[in-house]
Amino acid sequence: MLYGVLGLLIGLVIGFFAARYFFKKNLRKNPPINEKMIRAMFMEMGRKPNETQIKRIMKSINDQYK
């Protein structure tokens, strides 16, 4: 009985960290937002974005996934 509970706890901890790792890896490869979407959002707000603003926003988004 003790081995079953211990094995379950160890499996949960390993599963949590493995899922977290793969989720972050997937977000780095396929970000939910890209530069084209940022440009479209700026245009909807009536602003013309410059490349510096777009790069800064993309950097801040990418920094969150590290």
Q: What is the pLDDT of residue 63?
A: 83
pTM above 0.75, yes or no: no
CA 57, CA 52: separation in Å to the nearest integer? Answer: 9
d(CA 21, CA 4): 26
Domain locations in the chain?
Answer: 1-30, 32-66
Amino acid identity for residue 20 in this structure: R
8-59, pLDDT tens digit by residue? 999 999 999 999 999 988 888 887 888 899 999 999 999 888 999 999 998 9
Opening angle at CA 29, ends 21 and 34, nearest 5: 130
pLDDT, position 66: 63
Residue 11: the pLDDT is 96
